Structure 1
Amino acid sequence: MQAKIYQMVILLLTIKRMDKNLNEVIHQIRMMVKMLWQLVLRVTVIQKKHVISSLHHLDNTTVFSKLLKETARGGE
């Protein structure tokens, strides 16, 4: 993920240095947006995996396990 961030920084610096060729600027911006979107998707997947593993961890704790069992029995 850090490599993608470095690539975006390099692209930003490239855009600042290049002459104002509009098509090239638009292309570079599109590339940056595409990379940003990929980062967002990766972070979202990582967060979902973290939440799921946290829920599995909670399932193994006694309080949460008792609560789940009571809920499954209909709150006896």
Structure 2
Amino acid sequence: MKYTANVMHIHINTLYYRLKQIKEMTGINPKEAEGTTLFYIGLCLKNRMLSDMDYLEVKNFKKMAYRCYKVHIFPLAL
């Protein structure tokens, strides 16, 4: 966990807080292998969906995601 916090340039307590928020919001525990796998698959599908979109669709998707993303659980990789 400490390595992850260092890579993200955040305090380790912030990382624990964000992981707790993810679990509360989704019901998926990102500290367990099953939860990590589900999030990984979700990110792969999101990236695949974005690669299938044309430029304007991706731009609109990013704007919508940015507007909806108020909690800042983890950095958006868009």
- TM-score, shorter chain, exceeding 0.5: no
The structure, 1 or 2, with the larger RCO (C-alpha pairs under 8 Å, 6+ apart) is: 1
Higher helix proportion (structure 1 or 2): 1
- What's the TM-score, normalizing by structure 2? 0.33
- What's the TM-score, normalizing by structure 1? 0.33
